[in-house]
Structure 1
Amino acid sequence: MPKSLWLLIIGMAINVTGASFLWPLNTIYIHDYLGKSLTIAGFVLMLNSFASVIGNLLGGVLFDRIGGFKSIMFGISITLFTLFLLIFNHDWPTYVWLLILIGFGQGMVFPAMYALAGSVWPKGERRAFNAIYVAQNVGVALGSALGGFVASMSFHYIFIANAALYLIFFLISFFGYRRISNKKGVQASIIKQPKSIRNRAAFLSLVLLSCSYLLAWVIYSQWASTFSAYSQKIGIELNQYSLLWTVNGALIVLGQPLLSMVLKRFEKKLKMQMVVGFMLFILSYIVMLEAKQFSSFMTAMVIITLGEMLVWPVVPTIAHKLAPKGREGFYQGFVNSMATGGRMVGPMLGGFLADVYGMKWLMIVMIGLLFIGMGLTVIYDRVFSSEKEKEMSVSY
């Protein structure tokens, strides 16, 4: 891998480690320390996710207009400034407004990082995006583990640690990313792009792919929301449930060598890779339909983690391939915003289904949504292929 990609990987790991100090503890802080209801806490987190969606879209557009370095620094600067404010004022309602700004700033960074990874190692294709994906998971594992330890001493230290890590990320980005340039049309405005048949078809393919991605995240988000409550209800201990996520992170990081061997079979078959991933998601939910003990939860978690390892890195790879010259950032921002949207909608939809119809029907509905997502994956590129053939026939 190029040295510039290693800088992006290190930066992403530190970025997500800092973010993971805070996000798993937000509900606890709002409910236990600020004295607000769980409904209000959920609404605040939804606002944070919505701000991230806007940040994803804006970050992608800025990448295309002003370049990767400037767009990343803009997002980091907003986040870092807000985190320093959070150290000195984290009372209600200031905490809400600052959390929204943090979501917006962080949202701007992710699509630019992914788009830059694709441009600095164009020959690497999926491997570049997979490396960024692994770095994110390393950050989640480190941040979540360290965050709980720091919070046990004082919650105030969480805000200090988060700001300190973002300061390190700022310095790495400022001194390391300045020399990294995405030479393929970084200054091109998306407004000036010719609206050819191929570009319209590429965007329609992106929309279908992103809808599939959103559904996958709606289903996956149940593990951090409804399934956690369900596990407690059937007598699974909290430390056992936490172990599920430890296994999730360990599989993602340690399983990369084995995954690389498997993915050689999918070198030019990204769609098939996604379909297999969706099938594993479905299998995981079939196991969960009859899950009454910890071993079933662990089996389902291992299966869905394998599916995640196939699906999550391939979506930005396909988006990069679909993107016309000069729109790489916008395409990455679009798929990132759909993932964030899935994480935002998933807990609300799952909570409603579980409360009104019960867990069994929740899982049946989720399996149905997975089949829809798999169907969208199968057809996403058919429009692009047919329209490309039309364009070629017109040009001849």
Structure 2
Amino acid sequence: MPKAIWLLVIGMAINVTGASFLWPLNTIYISQELGQPLTIAGLVLMSNGAAGIIGNLIGGKLFDKIGGFRTIIMGLSITTSSAFILAMLHESFIAYVALLMGLGFGAGLMVPCMYAMAGAVWPEGGRKPFNAMYVAQNVGVATGAAIGGFLASLRFDFVFFGNGLMYVVFFIIVLFFFKDLQPKREAGTTTNVFEQGAVVENRKRFNALIVLCIGFLICWVAYTQWASTISVHTQNLGIPLSQYSLLWTINGGMIVFCQPFVKFFIVRWFTSLKAQIYVGIVIFSCAYLVLSKAEIFTAFLVAMIILTLGEMFVWPAIPTIAHQLAPEGKAGFYQGIVNSIGTGGRLIGPFFGGLLADIYGMSVLFYVLAAMFVIPIVTTALFDRKIEGQTFSRKKVESRAS
């Protein structure tokens, strides 16, 4: 990979490591330390997700307008200050909610910029730059979840301070190395979500992205249960917090070390982006069917392994398609849409899951989630029907992506 991609990968890994100190433990902290029910915990995470959606859309537009470097610095200033203030005021429920929103907004500004920068600095890389960023995120998840679980077992205060310190490290890296990663931008090509839908020549591409993202939203609604309802469910079953954190470590470790395994299947059988999404969605559904019967740690471990295999097919494919759909000068905007939809799933998921679990129980929740994966299969089949001269179901689309 080019040096620029390695810099982005390192930066993403450090950024996500810091965030992963906190996000897998949010629901546990809100419910057990702050004494709030699962539904309220879901609403709190919804507020964090809502702030993230706003940040994603603004961050994508700012990338197209002022560049990634300045936008990331802006986002880091917000996340770093929010993290350290949270470390001091985390015992106040109101302060916790407000500062969690600050973390969500700041992170939302940064992520679409980093994905857009990856596509811009290595345009000939196809799926590779987005897969590299995805792997970097999961290195951060594995490292951060393991360290965060350990710190939480000592004192929850250490989790909040650790989060802030990692943002400081990332801030330093951005200041020294990211300024030279600025891609060239065409003047006068920026737009917003309302204007984009009105541009006739780009409307079909934008509509295709929205259809694809409807399925992406469903995937994230299901996926986010692991950090919300499932985390509390494991505690209620008597599974130690350290073992729950280990699940995320295994998730991240698999994503890093099982890349040759996934590459083999992509090269041999699932070379198109659509095929990769179909396979991943079916695997996702199997994971939640396993969860419906899970009562011991081993069962949760099996479900996490299955889930991880599924996400390795789906998650890198979506931003790759968004990059290929994006008109000139709209790369940041399209990545902002993708990330805002993912954040929307993280927004809706905890409340949806918490409400369903409180009323009907966890087994019903898992069956509903497994059935919902029919929707992304349909949206994947339909999204590119009206895109002339480009299809995502042919092998040639991914011939260089492995």
For normalisation by structure 2, the TM-score amounts to 0.87
Residue 322 (structure 1) aligned with residue 325 (structure 2)? yes
Partner of 2:395: none
**Do the aligned partners of residues 130 and 188 (structure 1) sit closer, same or farther apart at CA in structure 2, a change above 3 Å counting?**
same
CA offsets 1:244-297 (integer angstroms, 9 cap, x no match): 333222211111122223222468511111111111112223334444554443
1:31-110 to 2 correspondence within 5 Å?
31=31, 33-34=33-34, 39-92=39-92, 93-110=94-111
Q: Which of residues 319, 322, 340 is equivalent to 2:343?
A: 340
User: C-alpha separation between the residues in 1 aligned to 2:153 and 2:303?
Assistant: 31
Residue 205 (structure 1) aligned with residue 208 (structure 2)? yes
Unaligned runs of 5+ in 1: 389-396
Shift of 1:226: 3.3
**Do the aligned partners of residues 183 and 293 (structure 1) sit closer, same or farther apart at CA in structure 2, a change above 3 Å counting?**
same
- The percentage of aligned residue pairs carrying the same residue is 52
User: C-alpha separation between the residues in 2 aligned to 1:180 and 1:4?
Assistant: 7
Unaligned runs of 5+ in 2: 392-402
Partner of 2:145: 144
Shift of 1:333: 0.8
Partner of 2:116: 115
Shift of 1:146: 1.4
Shift of 1:90: 3.9
Whether contact under 8 Å (2:111, 2:339) holds in the other structure is yes
**Do the aligned partners of residues 33 and 360 (structure 1) sit closer, same or farther apart at CA in structure 2, a change above 3 Å counting?**
closer
In the comparison of the two structures, how many residue pairs are matched? 388
Shift of 1:152: 3.9
Whether contact under 8 Å (1:75, 1:105) holds in the other structure is yes
Shift of 1:371: 0.7
Whether contact under 8 Å (1:84, 1:163) holds in the other structure is yes
Shift of 1:308: 0.4
Partner of 2:394: none
Shift of 1:71: 1.3
AA aligned opposite 2:274: K
Partner of 2:186: 185
Range with bigger deviation, 43-52 or 211-220: 43-52
Shift of 1:141: 1.4
Shift of 1:195: 5.3
Partner of 1:26: 26
Shift of 1:317: 0.5
Partner of 1:391: none
Range with bigger deviation, 363-372 or 39-48: 39-48
1:146-185 to 2 correspondence within 5 Å?
146-185=147-186
CA offsets 1:52-75 (integer angstroms, 9 cap, x no match): 111111101111111111111111
AA aligned opposite 1:137: N
SS of alignment partner, residue 186 of structure 2: coil
Partner of 1:392: none
**Do the aligned partners of residues 163 and 291 (structure 1) sit closer, same or farther apart at CA in structure 2, a change above 3 Å counting?**
closer
Q: Which of residues 349, 356, 364 is equivalent to 2:359?
A: 356
Shift of 1:76: 1.1
Residue 126 (structure 1) aligned with residue 127 (structure 2)? yes
Residue 4 (structure 1) aligned with residue 4 (structure 2)? yes
